[in-house]
Amino acid sequence: MSVLVVGSTALDSIKTPKAENPRLLGGSASHAAIAASFFSPVKMIGIVGQDFPKRYLALYRKHNIDLTGLQIAEGKTFHWSGEYEVNMNNRRTLSTELGVFETFTPHLPESHKNSRFILLANIAPSLQLHVLDQIKKPKFVIADTMDLWLNIALPDLLTVIQRVDAFVLNDSEAKQLTDEDNVLKALKKIHRLGPAYVIIKRGEHGSILSGPSGLFVAPAFPLERVVDPTGAGDSFVGGLLGYLASTKGSIEKNLRRAIIHGSATASFCCEDFGLTRTTKITAADINNRVAQLEKMVRF
Ligand code: AMP
């Protein structure tokens, strides 16, 4: 089944201690959509400006991403720039220029309104809600976010959390949202806000899922060299939902395997700048890492 992805479609300028790369293809929707495309057909909702390079549109198309819902508007593409410290877990946003996102109202093409698997990737929660309102009968809705929205759009974000099946956030966001250091207590509090499934991302240490059948502690794929982790969280959730949409049977039965597919997909994202590595792999490469992860956790 196909996956509908809404989120940011961006140009990213990324600085690490070793290199600097301007105006790469980025944005939460780009990372998530390309990750999901290895497993299921993807429809992407977003907006770019007329400065958006044609070769990036070609990259989406190479991954068979349906661009009917991508607006190309007058103005500049959303531009984000960030800088990593030597410890790549620490990142600083240098600038965020909203450009065409400033006036973006996503109108879903009729063909998109029947989508069953919905990924609300990181973007203003009001936009996530605007998309969700247009979906007729979703089967599984998963949302991601970032600290910015906890700081400036908490009421809207709480509405998103209440309406989704699964909510994904990282450990520092979970702490900020719940005021709890302890992950189990934080998970309990987030469940009380609505979602049946909560997934807390812990970067290179993997993730933890809490759902109706208890906890699942998932590893990240161990990497010797991380070049640029930008978009790893988006790739994780994209790979996860893309895989889930490709499976038969209940969500409950397939979600753990889906998380491992998300972990494996995200590992490739970290191995080069932006989407450089991810756009060179195949589903077989991801499946190979899934098999390696399976061996690493069996006991
Ligand atoms: P991650 O590394 O998973 O946190 O995601 C990084 C991606 O988030 C980059 O590709 C950015 O373009 C995108 N991003 C950064 N700030 C924002 C924002 N305020 N809204 C939406 N997307 C953003």
Ligand 1 touching residue 274 (CB < 6 A): no
- Cα 215 to ligand 1 centroid, rounded to whole Å: 28
Q: Dig out the tokens for 230 from the structure.
A: 């930008």
Give the per-residue pLDDT at 89.
Answer: 87
Give the per-residue pLDDT at 283.
Answer: 98
How many Å apart are CA 253 and CA 264, to the nearest integer? Answer: 19
> Considering only CA atoms, which of 153, 182, 150, 141 is closest in space to residue 169?
150
Segment 196-208, tens digit of pLDDT: 999 999 999 999 9
Q: How far is CA 272 from CA 82, 171, 207, in A?
A: 15, 24, 22
Ligand 1 touching residue 244 (CB < 6 A): no
Give the per-residue pLDDT at 109.
Answer: 95
- Cα 27 to ligand 1 centroid, rounded to whole Å: 5
Ligand 1 touching residue 263 (CB < 6 A): no
CATH topology of domain 3-297: UDP-N-acetylmuramoyl-L-alanine:D-glutamate ligase (3.40.1190)
Give the per-residue pLDDT at 26.
Answer: 98
CB 56 within 8 A of CB 31: no
Residues of the chain scoring pLDDT < 70: none
Question: Could you say which DSSP state residue 113 is in?
Answer: T
